[in-house]
Amino acid sequence: MIMFIVFIVLLFNLMNVLLKKKTNEAIVVLVSPDQAVNGTIKFKQTDDGVVIEGEVLGLTPGKHGFHVHGKGDLSDGCTSTGSHFNPFNKDHGSPDSENRHVGDLGNIVADDKGVAKIQITDKIISLRSGDTNILGRAIVVHSGEDDLGRGGHDDSLTTGHAGGRVACGIIGIL
């Protein structure tokens, strides 16, 4: 009987380890209204956060706001993806700020050829089930720099004053 209980407990622990080790991955294929901007971005859930890697082409050189928006709806282009993913009703901020939207991933930086290489680890967004899960929502790249809430503009604390939406894509299961 004791052996049986020990066996069941061990089996249970093993299942737990296997389930937790299962990596969740996602992919975004970016589209832009005028086809000028494109790119593919991959997301991998780790125990230290979500690792985001990829490349965006066709941007103007410099910084571009990079966010998760709330809806995975491209029926009206990037406009219908709604505002920044914000399940906890906070202000817009920098990725390392306590007061940020869950979707606030800061800026990506394009070189003089218009290519932005992305290598970000974020501890707030998640590919696991729960309030911060981003699957089915959208990634949006903006025309301008995200001021991370510090610019003092009317829209600094809502959008980071990052300007128009130059490309977007739905976060899909990989």
Annotated active-site residue 101? The verdict is: yes
* 101 sits near Zn ion (criterion: CB under 5 A): yes
Annotated active-site residue 161? The verdict is: no
Catalytic residue, from 69, 100, 137, 161: name it. 69
* 8 sits near ligand NAG (criterion: CB under 6 A): no
- State which residue, 60 or 99, has the beta carbon closest to ligand NAG: 60
Contacting residue, 67, 92, 100, 101, with Cu ion by CB under 5 A: 67
* Distance in angstroms between the alpha carbons of the first and the last residue of the chain: 44
The answer to whether residues 110 and 59 touch, using CB atoms and an 8 Å cutoff, is yes
Catalytic residue, from 104, 122, 146, 147: name it. 104
Binding stretches for ligand NAG (CB under 6 A): 36, 38, 57-58
Provide the annotated active-site residues: 67, 69, 84, 92, 101, 104, 142, 165
